Amino acid sequence: MLLLALLGGTASAHAQHMNAADAPCRAMTQTHPLVACLAAAEKQADLQRDSTYRQITDAVTSQTRMELGRSERAWTAYRDTFCDTEYHSFAGGSGGPPARLACLEALTRHHIADLQTAFHWRVEKFGAPTLSNTP
């Protein structure tokens, strides 16, 4: 029961990514331009994540690289499943596609911050390129 409560709290904490104060494309009011904007934002977040991940893997041991790779695959599966669930909550309505894209972008952006928090010191110490918010 506690697990269900925790999962429910997580879902509600991330609900409606496209309406969050820090969400990209908030000024868009029509679905088609909103989807295009969110798709571009999601792609940019993925490029940023890839760049951050490469910088980190260049600065860690092979063991850490292997563990990080495993955790990234698990995180990606979680993100995709979670955002698919948010999409399906719209039951085929026009809000589903932008909700999914906004979810993917937001979770990826937050994950980049987590990666930077956990590994930035390592990147700085061992001379890999400095982490930034751009690829």
pLDDT digits (tens, 9 = 90+) for 58-104: 989 899 999 999 999 999 999 999 999 999 999 989 889 999 999 99
Q: What is the pLDDT of residue 25?
A: 87
Q: Is the dihedral of CA 48, 54, 60, 66 positive or negative?
A: positive
Q: What is the pLDDT of residue 116?
A: 94
Q: What is the pLDDT of residue 132?
A: 53
DSSP 61: -
Return the CATH number of the domain spanning residue range 37-135: 1.20.1270
CA distances for 129 relative to 58, 65, 102, 117, angstroms: 9, 16, 29, 15
Q: What is the pLDDT of residue 128?
A: 56
CA atoms within 13 A on the CB side of 10: 13
Domain-wise residue ranges, the chain: 37-135
DSSP 18: G
- C-alpha gyration radius of the chain: 16
